[in-house]
């Protein structure tokens, strides 16, 4: 590959932070205190170097098959765009991961850029307890009657800018290779849906945590697929909160868009 073209493709790895050396933000986890079964909320100050940090935007499609999901994504978009812009200005790498849409992005420079990176084999998956979810999503979790599962998406939502220094991928090993090239130690994950793709995609919380990447869920920039007609028969909002609490207990800490914007 000509050197000038290779330099353009690898440009995202050369980003420099424009602010203080560390991102400083507030995070939250939950700690069990034996011998009781109670979980205590623990807030703590977290730091990470912007040049060794990435964000994955998970499955923020242009359209979902569930109307309720579409409505909540629309409400989330302005704050998500603001958060991504703030982190990008600080030199954090943005990876757009709209699963099952890579054909749409086949000729995008941001797609070609991540494919041009040397592939790095992830380490063996660490053993990790995986308790059941606190909600029943066996009905696919749609809370708007009449909507049936189907392939409704073609691309990421067009309201989310994909800038020249970003990457596009829905493949865990590709994204892990991008993190390795950047020597990234921290990964923020936002998007949808908390109980499904956010946890289970090849680039998402369970896999990245088991590969040894320090993950943080942005808890106000996510949503669940949960139908209040299913157990535990709570509101949709409370169902999402239960999944966030589950992640804080068993998988990784969470943070907020406000904390990251002001980091």
Contact 97, 57 (CB under 8 A): yes
The tens place of each residue's pLDDT in the chain, 263 residues long, gives 443 333 334 444 444 434 458 999 999 999 998 888 899 999 999 999 999 999 999 999 999 999 999 999 999 999 999 999 999 999 999 999 999 999 999 999 999 999 999 999 999 999 999 999 999 999 999 999 999 999 999 999 999 999 999 999 999 999 999 999 999 999 999 999 999 999 999 999 999 999 999 999 999 999 999 999 999 999 999 999 999 999 999 999 999 999 999 99
Contacts of 209 (CB under 8 A, 6+ apart): 126, 128, 215, 251, 252
pLDDT in tens, 174-211: 999 999 999 999 999 999 999 999 999 999 999 999 99
Look up the pTM and report it.
Answer: 0.91
Query: Residues near 210 by Cβ (< 8 Å), separated by ≥ 6?
Result: 125, 126, 128
- Antiparallel, parallel or unpaired: β 167-168 and 39-48: unpaired
Q: Would you list the domain boundaries of the chain?
A: 3-261
Say how far apart CA 125 and CA 211 lie, in whole Å. 5
What is the architecture, at CATH level 2, of domain 3-261? 3-Layer(aba) Sandwich (3.40)
């Amino acid at each position: 590959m000509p050197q000038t073209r290779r330099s353009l493709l690898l440009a995202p790895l050369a980003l420099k932070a424009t602010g203080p050396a560390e991102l400083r933000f507030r995070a939250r986890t939950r700690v069990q205190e034996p011998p009781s079964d109670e979980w205590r909320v623990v807030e703590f100050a977290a730091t990470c170097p912007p040049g060794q940090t990435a964000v994955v935007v998970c499955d923020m499609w242009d359209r979902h098959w569930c109307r309720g999901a579409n409505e909540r994504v629309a409400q989330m978009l302005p704050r998500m765009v603001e958060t991504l812009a703030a982190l990008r200005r600080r030199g954090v790498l943005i990876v757009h991961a709209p699963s099952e849409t890579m054909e749409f992005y086949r000729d995008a420079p941001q797609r070609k850029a991540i494919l041009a990176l040397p592939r790095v084999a992830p380490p063996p998956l660490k053993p990790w307890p995986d308790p059941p979810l606190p909600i029943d999503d066996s009905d696919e979790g749609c809370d708007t009657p009449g909507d049936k599962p189907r392939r409704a998406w073609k691309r990421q939502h067009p309201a989310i800018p994909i800038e020249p220094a970003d990457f596009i991928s829905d493949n865990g090993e590709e994204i892990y290779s991008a993190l390795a090239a950047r020597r990234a130690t921290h990964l923020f994950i936002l998007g949808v849906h908390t109980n499904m793709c956010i946890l289970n995609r090849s680039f998402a919380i369970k896999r990245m945590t088991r590969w040894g990447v320090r993950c943080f869920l942005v808890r106000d920039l996510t949503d669940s697929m949960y139908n209040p007609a299913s157990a535990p028969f709570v509101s949709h909002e409370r169902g999402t909160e239960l999944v966030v609490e589950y992640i804080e207990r068993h998988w990784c800490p969470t943070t907020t868009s406000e904390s990251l914007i002001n980091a």
